[in-house]
């Protein structure tokens, strides 16, 4: 998602759970998610609302079973690692990697949902989820390289993605009170781009052509997405006062 689903409403000590209400319905879950993301209206984007609804439905049984959010986070990264290890093993490997990457993305969206449903959002979980998201992104882009995509283009899309997430995080630190804008290059878009490339590669013996096309499209979307975000950040922060000297902006 465009921002961490386990984002803290307050700043507790690391590892200490945040006292948030536990939602009992989808509407309450979406409302709480919105509160934790600067009041962003999930219903304003079909992609965001659909993704959050799916996360809510899948996370409910995990929350009831008492599964720890951090354990869910770890499983999502493991799926991405396995996807990378199988992606280059011919058509069957590409197909398997596509399924594993979808599973990784779904699991990745569940940790925040489980945390909210169990009332277990924490400072450490916030950091762990953000790190896991970026690691999963980089593993997904590495899959493109494993399929034969030009390495410079893979590096370019990775750098643009990191800039995208860093800019948003620093904008929030500088005073932007919401996620800003849902761009064309959020987590779901990144996963879709790599999965489509994998599915195309699964139909041929030489995966280089599909990988090159896939990474080319990814770079284009990353450029557009980063541009969207920069314009929104500039518009939002231009009306705010400059940070005071000595202000901690971590």
Q: 26-237 has which CATH code?
A: 1.20.120.1760
DSSP character string of 108-144: HHHHHHHHHHHT--BHHHHHHHHHHHHHHHHHHHHHH
Q: How far apart are CA 185 and CA 60, in angstroms?
A: 28
Q: Could you give the count of Cα atoms lying within 13 Å of 201 in the half-sphere of its Cβ?
A: 36
CA distances from 138 to 118, 135, 156, 176 (A): 29, 5, 11, 26
For 245, phi then psi, to 5°, come to -55, 135
Task: List all residues 6 or more positions away from 143 whose beta carbon is below 8 Å from its beta carbon.
Answer: 83, 84, 87, 97, 101, 194, 198
Task: Give pTM, 2 decimals.
Answer: 0.82
Mean pLDDT in consecutive groups of 10 residues from the start of the chain, 250 residues? 43 40 84 78 79 89 92 95 93 93 91 87 84 96 96 98 95 84 92 96 89 97 97 89 58
């Amino acid at each position: 998602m465009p921002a961490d689903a386990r984002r803290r409403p307050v700043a507790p000590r690391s590892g200490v759970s945040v006292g948030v209400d536990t939602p009992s319905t989808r509407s309450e879950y979406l409302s709480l998610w919105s509160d934790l993301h600067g009041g962003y209206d999930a219903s304003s984007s079909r992609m965001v609302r659909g993704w959050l609804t799916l996360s809510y439905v899948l996370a409910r049984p995990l929350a009831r079973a008492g599964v720890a959010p951090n354990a869910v986070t770890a499983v999502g990264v493991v799926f991405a690692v396995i996807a990378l290890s199988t992606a280059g093993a011919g058509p069957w490997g590409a197909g398997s990697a596509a399924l594993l990457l979808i599973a990784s993305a779904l699991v990745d969206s569940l940790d925040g949902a489980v945390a909210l449903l169990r009332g277990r959002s924490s400072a450490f979980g916030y950091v762990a989820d953000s790190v896991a998201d970026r690691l999963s992104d980089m593993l997904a882009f590495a899959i493109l390289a494993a399929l034969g995509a030009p390495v410079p283009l893979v590096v370019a899309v990775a750098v643009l993605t990191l800039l995208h997430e860093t800019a948003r995080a620093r904008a929030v630190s500088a005073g932007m009170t919401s996620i800003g804008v849902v761009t064309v290059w959020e987590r779901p878009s990144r996963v879709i781009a790599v999965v489509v490339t994998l599915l195309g590669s699964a139909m041929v013996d030489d995966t280089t052509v599909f990988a090159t096309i896939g990474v080319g499209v990814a770079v284009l979307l990353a450029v557009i997405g980063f541009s969207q975000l920069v314009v929104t950040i500039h518009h939002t922060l231009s009306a705010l006062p400059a940070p005071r000297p000595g202000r901690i902006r971590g």
